[in-house]
Amino acid sequence: MTTTNKSALAFAGVAVVLFAAAHCAPSAPKERAHRGGGATSDVAIAAQKTYIAPGDLDEYYLFSSGGHSGQMYVFGVPSMRHLVTIPVFTPYPATGYGFDDDTRAMLAGHSWDDVHHPALSETAGDYDGRWLFANGISGRIGRIDLRDFKTKEIYGPAPNVSGNHASAFVTPNSEYVMMASRFSAPLGDAAIPVSEYATKYKGIIAGVKIDPKSGHMSLGWEIQTPPFDWDLGDAGKKASDGWMFFTCYNSERATGKLEVTASQRDRDYIAAVDWRLAEKAIGEGKGAEINGAKVLDPAKVPGVMYLLPCGKSPHGVDVSPDGKYIVGNGKLQGVTTVFNFEKIQTAIRNKDFTGDEDGIPILKYESVKDAEVPVGLGPLHTQFGPDGYAYTSLFVDSAIAKWKLGTWEVVDKVPMSYSIGHLCAAEGDTVSPDGKYLIGLNKLSHGRHLSVGPSQPESSQLVDISGEKMKLLYDAFTEPEPHYAQMIKADKLHPIEVYPKEENHHPLAVWDVKDAGLTRNGDRVIVKTVVVRSTITPTQFEVKLGDTVTIAITNIEQTTDELHGFGMPGYNFNLVIDPGETKTVTFKADKPGVFYYYCTNFCSALHQEMQGYMIVKPK
Ligand code: RUQ
Ligand code: CUA
């Protein structure tokens, strides 16, 4: 199908109308409060399916991106209860994140980012429960350790990657976590005017290498591209292992009002990148050094990158569990386009090209596509079930379509309230999806909850996909602003209960209150501190104005959830120290006076008594 400009604009018009409709939809909280019915009604069945009795546990963890909150939200599924918030790019006083020396250094002065796509680490294409990666638009990737649900590393900003939206996507054995730039920019620091965008601005696709033992991230390779806006990505798996796919819009290389200027062409592209070849080419020294990164020019590395034409400004690209199909979601169309990996390989072998973009061959559309599936208007993202079914979110139709791989038949639709973006099926982007549950991550929630003023919460809707027909089970709400989420079987994770004392090798740790206290070396002061129910030792200490003070706090508890805080409002910090953990905070004592500190985490009946004073003596 070719979509003309007119019909695309018409679809965009429909989107506007639907948005308006959603906003005007009368909310009827009274009626809603009274609906219900007998024990066999749909509502009762849905209630039973989502009800987790007190003390019982959920079957899945849902890791949901927190958008521009810079955090990740963790839910239990099917209850949809919010379990915890994991700060990644944003200071979070509730857990002391961004206040102690280590996490403050990790944030490096940044106080926010925009997280869209979580990526669980994989082994053989399946979630392995080790790490969770999260992209930051600023060109960073955060790594959360699922042993303790804490952010352990922030990589970046990666050189040359401008606007890291198409990220974080991991390869099937967590060899790489991928990045790509949404806002092309001149490479190097040249302030080249936007009028030279089409020729002087470049996009970048980057592979960040993951150390298989430690999870440590380091830049692997970069590929420069024409100034397209790279949007989403997915790694090939099984049949297509070794390849990476990225969608783009703005193949027009336009600037200004992209809404108009970047919607002129009937087709944009999905890039197919042979990441093993990229790795090899960098190893052979084929990259040019730009801003400290080795960057490949795909025109000079034949075979590293191809372009598949895909309907107008495609959004999500998703690879089927067997790796045979690459599904491009053409957000301004009524279809998703399914490409066949084998046909792509044949077309590459036969040089079945229709042209090139800056030396990158364009494969012939008719030779590589298998189907255009009429899913409905505004397809954005696709997830998979265990039984050959695919589920595509439809932003404009505000629905999820269920369709069959191979026969391309659309078999069911369920409405979403309202305007769904991403969707997430249980392990739905692995080589072995679970089915069972699907969550629609909606952009609007208007009228489906108690009003909280002009800014409405974000809405996630739980859908039962265990049967032939999809069934809406539950509405859940959260803070801004989930984009993508991933759902992993709960029994794949084994979080620790405490930090074992034997594993604490912190040089400033003290495990006995007798060893707590202050040591001075010139104007460097170290205060070794012990927190345990219900005293902070020392209960007071004195420093001099101008001293550089490090308070090193060890929580010597070995009981789960016995956290202690160390808050000092006068110097604007709050630390939270988990059982067995040592944290430090370093600051310049630049204000004289008496400053109280106290435990911020309720820990015992004598929690209120956990307090002390720092005296800063004027010179
Ligand atoms: S995007 S609504 Cu930022 Cu993942 Cu598709
Ligand atoms: Cu320790 Cu409250």
The model's pLDDT over 508-544, given as tens digits with 9 standing for 90+, comes to 999 999 999 999 999 999 999 999 999 999 999 999 9
The model's pLDDT over 352-403, given as tens digits with 9 standing for 90+, comes to 999 999 999 999 999 999 999 999 999 999 999 999 999 999 999 999 999 9
The model's pLDDT over 141-194, given as tens digits with 9 standing for 90+, comes to 999 999 999 999 999 999 999 999 999 999 999 999 999 999 999 998 789 999
Per-residue model confidence (pLDDT) at position 101: 98
Pocket test for ligand 1, best of 68, 313, 422 (most atoms within 8 A of CB): 422
Tell which atom from ligand 2 comes closest to the C-alpha of 601. 2
| Ligand with the closest atom to the CA of 602 | 2
**Residue 352 near residue 367, CB atoms below 8 Å:** yes
Per-residue model confidence (pLDDT) at position 25: 42
Compute CA 266 distance to the chain's CA centroid, rounded to the nearest angstrom: 30
Distance CA 417, CA 440 (A): 9
Task: Indicate whether residue 564 lines ligand 2 (CB < 6 A).
Answer: yes
Q: Which positions ≥6 away from 70 have C-beta within 8 Å?
A: 87, 88, 89, 90, 112, 113, 114, 115, 136
Residue 249, strand partner residues? 229
Structure tokens at 618: 């004027």
| Ligand with the closest atom to the CA of 565 | 2
Distance CA 369, CA 107 (A): 44
Distance CA 528, CA 543 (A): 14
Tell which residue, 173, 159, 249, 171, has the closest CA to residue 206. 159
Distance CA 583, CA 590 (A): 22
Distance CA 422, CA 167 (A): 14
Cα dihedral across residues 47, 49, 53, 55: positive or negative: negative
Residue 189 is classified by DSSP as: S
Helices H, strands E: what count in the chain? 9, 43
pLDDT beyond 50 at 22: no
Per-residue model confidence (pLDDT) at position 430: 98
Pairwise pLDDT comparison (378 vs 28), residue with the higher score: 378
**Residue 59 near residue 79, CB atoms below 8 Å:** no
Q: Give percent of the chain above pLDDT 70.
A: 94
* Mean pLDDT of the chain, nearest integer: 93
If you measure from the C-alpha of residue 321 to the centroid of ligand 1, how many angstroms do you get, rounded to a whole number? 21
How far CA 56 is from CA of 51, 426, 560, in Å, comes to: 9, 20, 19
Task: Indicate whether residue 391 lines ligand 1 (CB < 6 A).
Answer: no
Tell which residue, 567, 585, 614, 597, has the closest CA to residue 94. 567
pTM of this prediction? Answer: 0.94
Report which secondary-structure segment, H or E, holds 260.
helix 258-261
If you measure from the C-alpha of residue 512 to the centroid of ligand 2, how many angstroms do you get, rounded to a whole number? 17
**Residue 360 near residue 348, CB atoms below 8 Å:** no
Distance CA 108, CA 121 (A): 25
* Amino acid code (one letter) for 594: V
Cα dihedral across residues 366, 368, 371, 375: positive or negative: negative
Structure tokens at 335: 């279809």
Per-residue model confidence (pLDDT) at position 312: 85
How far CA 252 is from CA of 5, 342, 359, 551, in Å, comes to: 13, 28, 16, 56
pLDDT beyond 70 at 415: yes
Residue the block writes with tokens 């006083």: 93
Per-residue model confidence (pLDDT) at position 7: 40
The model's pLDDT over 75-132, given as tens digits with 9 standing for 90+, comes to 999 999 999 999 999 999 999 999 999 999 999 999 999 999 999 999 999 999 999 9
Per-residue model confidence (pLDDT) at position 344: 98
Residue 233, strand partner residues? 246
Tell which atom from ligand 2 comes closest to the C-alpha of 565. 1
Q: How confident is the model over 468-472, as a mean pLDDT? A: 97
Distance CA 546, CA 179 (A): 44
Per-residue model confidence (pLDDT) at position 38: 56
Tell which atom from ligand 2 comes closest to the C-alpha of 603. 2
Q: Which positions ≥6 away from 92 have C-beta within 8 Å?
A: 71, 85, 98
**Residue 587 burial (CB count, 10 A):** 15
The model's pLDDT over 567-611, given as tens digits with 9 standing for 90+, comes to 999 999 999 999 999 999 999 999 999 999 999 999 999 999 999
Pairwise pLDDT comparison (549 vs 261), residue with the higher score: 549
pLDDT beyond 90 at 432: yes
Task: Indicate whether residue 117 lines ligand 1 (CB < 6 A).
Answer: yes
Integer-rounded Cα Rg, in Å, for the chain is 26
∠ CA 323-327-332, nearest 5°, is 170
Burial class (CB in 10 A: 0-12, 13-18, 19+), 512: exposed
Per-residue model confidence (pLDDT) at position 263: 85
> b or e along 519-550 (b: 16 or more beta carbons within 10 Å of the residue's beta carbon)?
eeeeeebbbbbbbbbbbbbbeebebbeebebb
**Residue 498 near residue 559, CB atoms below 8 Å:** yes
pLDDT beyond 70 at 33: no
User: Cα torsion for 449, 450, 453, 454, to the nearest 10°?
Assistant: 20
Tell which atom from ligand 2 comes closest to the C-alpha of 563. 1
Tell which atom from ligand 2 comes closest to the C-alpha of 604. 2
Closest residue by Cα to atom 3, ligand 1, is 116
The model's pLDDT over 273-290, given as tens digits with 9 standing for 90+, comes to 999 999 999 999 999 999
Per-residue model confidence (pLDDT) at position 30: 42
Structure tokens at 447: 């009228």
